[in-house]
Structure 1
Amino acid sequence: MQESLSVALIQPDLHWLKPTANRDHLAALLLDIPSQTDVVVLPEMFTSGFTEKPELISGDQKTMTWMKAQASLHQVALAGSIACEIEQGSDSYFVNRLLFVTPAGEVFHYDKCHLFQMGDEHKRYRSGDNRQIVEYKGWKLLLTICYDLRFPVFCRNKSDYDAMICVANWPAVRRHPWRTLLQARAIENQAYVLGVNRVGEDGKGLLYNGDSMAVDFQGDILVDGKEGCESVLVATFSMSLLRRARQQFPVWQDADNFHFS
């Protein structure tokens, strides 16, 4: 197990529904990550911005190839979500899929379970039905997407993860809940939390502040993205500090036995 995990959060502006332009832009931002970085996290739907019209986006396989190439080039695990088309016989459907790609080209994925009905996400995407915890360099990482953050039972740490990754397109109008919920999930689960959001304006006129951050197991903010500006943020997680905190204040032993199904 690796004692420290170095994580980079990429907070970009995104080109509306332009996968090639976004991949090129993010490739340039990735050049700014330190050489010893272990994990890099991109926002939700990083090739397009959040859209209810996934059929207008082409190239999820191109994005997969791009992610593998970037992960190999920088020797990092690369994570972020895209609109992904799934073929099922003669039919097909879309999911909002968070991909976690290792430097060796191994791919893990999580399909968003809580679809944002107020934004009609449920009309164009199919929800996932399972949590996904990825183990990387000895660290167990819970994968979540945007709206999932609002559901504490789904995010509950049953002593099965060390850090939670949440990728998002979270509008500026709901900035305070975003920041507060990231800290709340970290505190209640005694886990590190990474929240990665975008900046700028999308094709529907929604504004995004960013506010990407890494939070430790006590709710303290380790790094915080500059409001409204593109940023590359780097934080270091410590396994020994995490274990010590859990041993000294073992809240988990009194937790309610909720189950997500």
Structure 2
Amino acid sequence: MNENLTSNLRVTLVQTAIHPKNPQNNIEHLNKLCEFISATDLILLPEVFTTGFCAGARDVAETPNGFAYQWMLTKAKELNAVVAGTLVVKEGDDYFNRLVWAQPNGQTIEYNKRHLFRMAGEHLRYQAGDKRVLVSVKGWRVLPMVCYDLRFPVWSRNRNDYDLAIYLANWPNQRALHWNCLLQARAIENLSYVVGVNRVGEDEAGQVYQGDSSIYSPRGNCDFVSQAEGVFTQTLSHELLTDYRKKFPAHMDADEFEIK
């Protein structure tokens, strides 16, 4: 149990279309959407929100602490909230699909996507991450994950170390059933809130993205879902989470395991 969990968490889901390989246009569009954000604690952006998920994204890759990093930190300070999203980042000779957790105090925490989507050749263009990362906001312990990570329950397994799992994605319409079912399953099996943030619109390859950014409670109830472009702020209940874990402590019977 998390004894520091004493307040609710306001989460803002930013569901947007993404211009392929055009960071400047995407940032300008996000600036307009951010005008509609008021009081919140955590702002979640889709996967690769400056470039889209496309083969040429490496051509406009970020450097660590580059333009998009600084934009995220500026927004975090301006809105007094954590801003999280993933970027294509070049570090040395390697490229990563990197989730950046930008905090109002000017610090960032990073998670490199572990499971690279081989069906689109992502594993040939990027280096896979090898470490889970846990972060916190307002006493909530958060597990950040990226898109294809959602399909691998062992990697997302709650070891009694998080209260909320987030999945930032570019998940196409043709696999929408999987997106919705797996988000719900991760919430149920891990006795945690789960938030999935997806994009909308069409990419340069003609893939259509339905959105379905959503929030699932630890009971598996869908508390929010939308297919529209926009910003959506919802509140996660610390009492609901704590009470449910006390009444249904399935985590106490979980099997121990080790990832190698």
For the aligned pair, the TM-score class normalised by the smaller chain equals over 0.9
Aligned residue pairs, count: 254
CA apart distance, 1:258 = 2.3
Letter in structure 1 aligned against 2:74: A
CA apart distance, 1:54 = 3.1
CA apart distance, 1:52 = 2.7
Note the alpha carbon deviations across 1:185-216, whole angstroms, 9 max, x for none: 00000000110000011111111000000111
Find the residue that maps to 1:259 and give its secondary structure.
Answer: coil
Aligned counterpart, 2:58:
55
Note the alpha carbon deviations across 1:21-48, whole angstroms, 9 max, x for none: 00110111111112x2000000000001
1:224–1:233 contact (8 Å) kept in structure 2: no
Q: Report which stretch shifted further, 240-249 or 123-132.
A: 240-249
2:16–2:199 contact (8 Å) kept in structure 1: yes
The answer to whether the aligner puts 1:133 opposite 2:148 as a matched pair is no
Aligned positions of 1:223-242 closer than 5 A: 223-226=224-227, 229-242=228-241
Rounded Cα–Cα distance in structure 1 between residues aligned with 2:73 and 2:252: 40
Find the residue that maps to 1:97 and give its secondary structure.
Answer: strand
Aligned positions of 1:45-194 closer than 5 A: 45-60=48-63, 61-87=66-92, 92-194=93-195
1:111–1:127 contact (8 Å) kept in structure 2: yes
Letter in structure 2 aligned against 1:259: E
1:19–1:59 contact (8 Å) kept in structure 2: no
Find the residue that maps to 1:23 and give its secondary structure.
Answer: helix
TM-score of the aligned structures, taking structure 1 as reference length: 0.95
Rounded Cα–Cα distance in structure 2 between residues aligned with 1:108 and 1:260: 22
CA apart distance, 1:232 = 1.3
**5+ residue gaps, structure 2:** none
Aligned counterpart, 2:26:
22
Q: Report which stretch shifted further, 130-139 or 188-197.
A: 130-139
Rounded Cα–Cα distance in structure 2 between residues aligned with 1:143 and 1:59: 20
TM-score of the aligned structures, taking structure 2 as reference length: 0.95
1:165–1:194 contact (8 Å) kept in structure 2: yes
CA apart distance, 1:105 = 1.1
- Aligned identity (percent) is 42
Structure 1 residue ranges (4+ consecutive) displaced by more than 6 angstroms after TM superposition: none
Letter in structure 2 aligned against 1:243: T
1:14–1:47 contact (8 Å) kept in structure 2: yes
2:7–2:138 contact (8 Å) kept in structure 1: no
Aligned counterpart, 1:12:
16
Rounded Cα–Cα distance in structure 2 between residues aligned with 1:203 and 1:93: 24
